Amino acid sequence: MQNEYDIVVVGSINMDLIFETNKMPGIGETIEGQAFHFLQGGKGANQAIAAAKLGNKVAMIGCVGSVIFGSEALKNFEKYGVNHTHVHRVDDYTGVALVTIQQTKKKDNSIITVPGANKKITIEMIDKAKSIIKKAKAVLLQLETPMEVVEYVIDLCDSFNVPVILNPSPYQTLRSDLMSKVTFIIPNEIEIRQMFPNHSIELSCAQYPNKLIVTRGSMGAVYHDMVEFKIIDGIKVSVADTTGAGDSFLAAFVSEYIKTNQIESSVHFANICAGLSIAKIGAQESSPTLKDVSKYINNTKN
C-alpha cells in the first residue's frame, strides 16, 4: 500500500500576534514595545509547515474560523504545499496567540493562546480523514485540540499500526494507557515535570526508554536507549526568537525518523533544525528547509 502522505498532523491553527519589548510588563503596568508582527502559528500548523519545508508530503487536519484569519491560514498552507482538504471552516474565530518576546540575550518569550476554532474539531472530522491517517508514515499530535479527539486519533493509529508522536503541550493529564500506544512522546522540561512531578528527568526517561524524549532548549534533548541516558547537545546560534523551536524539533525528528528509523540521528537532526529556527522571528517563517540544514552541516565541517 503506497503512502499518500508522509506525515499527517492533527492539531491547532492560530494567528500569532507578536510583541517585542525590552522588558515584560508587571501587573497593572503599561509599557511601550519595540515591534509588532502578525504571523501564522499554532503548534499543529507550525509542525505541519516545518515538516513540509523539510521535503515531506504533509496533510493537516484541524479547524479555522469562518471569518477573521481563516482564509489567511488556508492560503498559508497552500504556500508551503500542505494539503488542507481536512481543515474545516467553522462558526467561530480562528485560534489566536499573544506572544511577547523580551529583547534580552536569550530572547525568552511568554505566550497566551485562545483556542477558538481549534476546540471545534470533532471525532466525526477525524473519521472523514481515516483514509489518509491509515496510509501515513507517521501522525503528529499536540494538546491544543480537545483531548477526546487526541485520544481517538491515538487509538486509531494504534489499530492501524501507524506510528504516532505526541507533543504533550500545553500539558494535560493523559489517559493511563496512552503511553503504551504512542510511538514517541516528546515534552519539554516544564512538561516532563508536570507529567512526573516526583521523578528526575533521568528516571522518567529510564521508565520509558526509546519512547520518551525531552527537549531542553539550547541544551538539546535527552532520552534513554535501554542502556544509558543519552544527552544530544543542541547547536550554538544567535537567538532572535525562541517561538516555535519546539515545533521545529518535533517536525524534524519525525521527518528524519520515518526515513532512518534511528532515534539518535533523528534527535541530532532535530536539534539542528530547532537551533536554526531560533535565529529568525516567527514560528513558521523561521523553520529551516533541507537546504538550510545542509548548508549548516557543510559549514560546520569546514
Judged against a pLDDT cut of 80, whether residue 45 lies above it is answered with: yes
As for how many domains the chain has, the answer is 1
Asked, for residue 245, whether it belongs to a domain, the answer is yes
pLDDT at 112 (0 to 100)? 86
Contact in structure between 141 and 274 (CB atoms under 8 Å): no
Share of the chain residues as helix, strand and coil, in percent rounded to the nearest 5: 40, 25, 40
Asked, for residue 177, whether it belongs to a domain, the answer is yes
Asked, for residue 2, whether it belongs to a domain, the answer is no
Q: Provide mean pLDDT across the span 194-209.
A: 95
What are the tens digits of pLDDT across the range 47-73? 999 999 999 999 999 999 987 799 999
Asked, for residue 113, whether it belongs to a domain, the answer is yes
Asked, for residue 286, whether it belongs to a domain, the answer is yes
Asked, for residue 231, whether it belongs to a domain, the answer is yes
CATH number, domain with residue 220: 3.40.1190.20
Judged against a pLDDT cut of 70, whether residue 302 lies above it is answered with: no
- State in Å, rounded, how far the first CA of the chain is from the last one: 43
Judged against a pLDDT cut of 70, whether residue 105 lies above it is answered with: no
What are the tens digits of pLDDT across the range 5-27? 999 999 999 998 989 898 888 89
Which residue segment(s) compose the domain that 243 sits in?
Answer: 7-24+34-295
Q: Provide mean pLDDT across the span 114-127.
A: 96
Judged against a pLDDT cut of 60, whether residue 200 lies above it is answered with: yes
Asked, for residue 291, whether it belongs to a domain, the answer is yes
The residues that are catalytic are 247
97-101, 122-126, 183-187: segment of lowest average pLDDT: 97-101
Asked, for residue 280, whether it belongs to a domain, the answer is yes
